[in-house]
Amino acid sequence: MNSDKVRVGVIGVGHLGEYHVQKYLNIPAVELVGVVDTDPDRANEIEKRYGVKVYGTYQDILNKVDAVSLSVPTEIHFDLARDILARDIHVLIEKPITYKLDDANSLVNLAEKNKLVFQVGLVERFNPAVVKMESLLNRPTFIEFHRMNQFTSRGIDVDVVLDLMIHDLDIILHVIPSEVKEVHAVGMSVITDKTDVANARMIFENGTVANLTASRVSNKTLRKIRVFQPDAYLSVNFVKREISVIRLDIDVTASDDFPQINANKMEFPDSDPLADEISSFVNSVINGTKPVVTGEDGLRALKYALGIIDQIERGCKNFQVIC
């Protein structure tokens, strides 16, 4: 890099891209060179709000940056990321990495060939409650994920598996040190022409079973993990960023001679997972280190997401009593 700061651009400043702008502006080691968006009104709005320079096309910014955040519709991830990586620029790409496995694999290989940081924006990996949960795992038998959102028109370019469940797929594939043996999935359309509610059951070679449910037509937001393992029950609340740990205290018995149950709650109210994700990306660029969520991680999550989608498409997808 040619200066003391990492020169960064944000390509795509919609709902999520704007948050990227905010986080980069708070990192002393970063010079936010500018932003790009295909909507001129939106780009001008961001320019006025944050005092950043606007460029007409993403090509206009590439010779001025060391790294970019790519927060554009998934359908153009591959073409843009391939062009950017080919110009030796580090990339933080929002999830899902692409629509197609071959395209994702091509990007991973290109980044490796050019020795570039290629990080996938699976932000829940930076949730401190999830990080703490990972440190407490001990041969879990059953893990249950629930990720429910109220309906919004944002993100419906993909179905609920690629929109929401992919976060939980990434987590489970990361924390369970075993290959997947079986996957069983069901889902249905409710509002859009894509799958809006999905459930997947994953059985690992080591015996761990994971049940993942995602919905974007819920009447409330719910994002939780429940872990059942020999020494404890763990409950993670993504939204509140807290984890409860329930254990048996074999040294203390109640009046009925059963072991006492102890509960401990840990809260992380002041944390900011997206800020941590972006800081981690910048640090990887500066130090030339492997990112926390690699392109390979994004590729693996995509592989199982597409497999789940395929099962759903071949099964009962429409909301009917009998399919």
**What domains are defined for the chain?**
6-122+274-293 (3.40.50.720), 125-271+304-314 (3.30.360.10)
pLDDT tens by residue, 184-240 = 999 998 988 889 999 999 999 999 999 999 999 988 899 999 999 999 999 999 999
State the pLDDT at residue 183.
95
Higher-confidence position of 258 and 59: 59
HSE on the CB side for 210, CA within 13 Å? 28
Phi/psi for 249 (5° steps) reads -100, 95
What CA–CA distance (Å, rounded) separates 150 from 178?
A: 33
Do 147 and 122 meet the contact criterion of CB atoms below 8 Å apart? no
Task: For residues 239 and 159, give the distance between their C-alpha atoms in angstroms, rounded to a whole number.
Answer: 22
Q: Can you tell me the mean pLDDT for 167-195?
A: 94
Contact predicate 7/67, CB 8 Å: yes
Fill in the amino acid letter for 112: E
Burial of 187 (0-12, 13-18, 19+ CB in 10 A): buried
In this predicted model, what pLDDT tens digit does every residue of 16-69 receive, in sequence order? Answer: 999 999 999 999 999 999 999 999 999 999 999 999 999 989 999 999 999 999
With cut-offs at 50, 70 and 90, classify the pLDDT of residue 259. Answer: confident
231 burial type by CB count under 10 A (0-12 exposed, 13-18 middle, 19+ buried): exposed
168 is written with which tokens?
């939980």
Read off φ and ψ for residue 16, nearest 5 degrees: -80, -40
What's the mean pLDDT when you consider all of the chain?
93
